[in-house]
Amino acid sequence: MASDDLIVGLDIGSTKVAAVIGEYDENDTLQITGIGESPSYGLRRGVVINIESTLKSVNAAIEAAEQMAGREAESVVTGIAGGHIEGLNSRGVVAVTGKGREITQNDIDRVIDAAKAVVIPMDREVLHVIPQEFIVDDQGGIRNPLDMIGVRLEAEVHIITGSVTSAQNLVKCINRSGFKVEDIVLQSLASSKAVLSRDEQELGVLLVDLGGGTTDVLLHIDGAPYYTSVLPVGGAQVTSDLSIVLKTPMDSAEAMKKDSGCCYAPLIEEGEPVIIPGVGGRPPLSVRRRDIAAIIEPRMAEIFSLVRERIEKKGLMKHLGGGVVLTGGGALLSGAVELAQDVFQTAARVGQPGNLGGAVSRYQRADFATVIGLLLYRDAMVSASERDGQRKERQPRMMEGFKSWLRNFFE
């Protein structure tokens, strides 16, 4: 089996680097065959600040995945996040030029080009242009206008931009690790692909990806991304709070957060004790689990409240018919769903990737949503016929930009 039959997802987070290898079986079904994880030391709030440290973390995660899969990776699809990410909505209009006023792919390409012709600073680049809807002669809500008859074609799109240097540093780290970057995908977009249902996206759903250094927000309305934002705060701040208040090292605070942490006090039984390891020869201390929750809950509530404020400021709270879906390591914290329901006043759940088969299943967790989503994103970009051609002729994949996005969008 050639390396063309592999898809490697690489999620470089502020606290963890995760790599997942997917392979196609004889039925063209994607199977997870390798998973690797490594602590992340070279990022701060989603942005690379130390290339050497990031390089080592990337190598360790991919090598672990390669060992499990028994295969060697050559290229990866990676995610990007950070406070530099911005999203905006835009509209383009063109006259239909096809024969008999029949809308062709060329017309669709032109209207998308018109919609993305927005002025952005020189230090920023467009990462994604995602169609929300097409409008043919004032008839809106059209998902695919191909072959329809019309005079005027409009497109509403969601444009996601990011810092040029942040993307370049990310690619540089991966290239220096010996791998080629096939694509860079917004992390919250990848997570959405892994955990959101079509019904939720149609109703309007808010994805909140609780990472270590950032909290990524993506709101879907009527089946398409509509609002994107990244908060420069995440689970690392919760750990830091525990470390400072309880006077314990960050490693101990992180372990305590994972093992005994809760961010919703009503879930805790009175008097549950937790042992804090001693530092510098001091004896261990015992604290109540409720006291730990009293440290964690305010910070988590603050994160959710900041997200709500941004959604309210845009007047979009009324579009949460599908509720709130939590992903990322922070979603594993006990009480996260209950707290989110309190803050957003709507239904909430933890988003976990579905079963993609393969020999392992530990990827079916909220903190693997992004990296699994990267595989699914790439899978959607390449049709089964293209993969079949690779097996027979071993030709490189040909990407067609917007056509691939459109195929992904209408699945």
Of the listed ranges 188-202, 354-368, 391-405, the one predicted with least confidence: 391-405
Per cent of the chain over pLDDT 70 is 90
Question: Kind and range of the H or E element at 399?
Answer: none
Structure tokens at 29: 């079904």
Question: Is residue 2 scored above 50 in pLDDT?
Answer: no
pLDDT band at 394 (very low <50, low <70, confident <90, very high): very low
Amino acid, res. 154? E
Tell me, what's the pLDDT at 355? 84
The backbone region for 144, taken as left when phi is positive above 0, alpha when psi lies in -120 to 50, beta otherwise, is: beta
Q: What confidence category does residue 384 fall into, taking pLDDT thresholds of 50, 70 and 90?
A: very low
What is the rounded distance in angstroms from the CA atom of residue 351 to the CA atom of residue 267? Answer: 21
d(CA 138, CA 129): 22
Q: What is the C-alpha separation between 23 and 112, in angstroms, rounded?
A: 33
Q: What is the pLDDT of residues 309-319, one digit of tens each?
A: 999 999 999 99
Task: Give me the sheet containing 224-231, strands edge to edge.
Answer: 224-231, 215-221, 205-210, 324-327, 348-350
Could you tell me the two tokens for 369? Answer: 């949503």
DSSP helix/strand/coil, 401: coil
Report how far residue 401's alpha carbon sits from residue 398's, in angstroms, rounded to the nearest whole number: 9
Written as one letter, the residue type at 103 is I
Q: Give the separation between CA 319 and CA 206, rounded to whole angstroms.
A: 9
Q: For residue 14, what pLDDT is reported? A: 82
Instruction: Report residue 322 CA to chain centroid gap.
Output: 18
pLDDT score of 154: 96
The angle at the Cα of 343, spanning 342 to 347, to the nearest 5 degrees, equals: 60
30 in Cβ contact with 379 (< 8 Å): yes
Give residue 210's pLDDT.
Answer: 94
CATH 3.40.50.300 fits 86-162, yes or no: no
Please say if the pLDDT value at position 26 is more than 90.
no
Quote the pLDDT of residue 386.
56
The strand pair at 43-44 and 30-39 is best described as unpaired
pLDDT for 48 beyond 80:
no
Query: What's the pLDDT score for residue 55?
Result: 85
Mean pLDDT of the chain: 86
Report the distance separating Cα 351 and Cα 192, nearest Å: 9
User: Residue 45: its pLDDT value, please?
Assistant: 65
* DSSP letter assigned to residue 334: B
Partners of 6 in beta bridges: 23
pLDDT tier at 91, thresholds 50, 70, 90: very high
Please, which pLDDT band fits residue 24 given cuts at 50, 70 and 90? confident
DSSP state of 408: H
Domain residue ranges of the chain, discontinuous segments joined by +: 86-162
For the segment 193-207, the average pLDDT, to the nearest whole number, is 95
pLDDT value, residue 391: 45
**pLDDT exceeds cutoff 50 at 66:** yes
Strand-pairing partners, residue 9, are 20, 77
Residue among 78, 9, 86 at smallest CA distance from 48 = 78
Q: At what angle do helices 235-246 and 250-260 cross, to 10 degrees?
A: 110
pLDDT greater than 90 at residue 287: no
For every residue of 262-298, DSSP letters joined together read: BS-GGGSPTT-EEEEPPSTTPPPEEEEHHHHHHHHHH
pLDDT at position 269: 81
- Higher-confidence residue of 400 and 266: namely 266
Q: What is the pLDDT of residues 174-193, one digit of tens each?
A: 898 889 999 999 999 999 99
What are the tokens at 185?
Answer: 């995908």
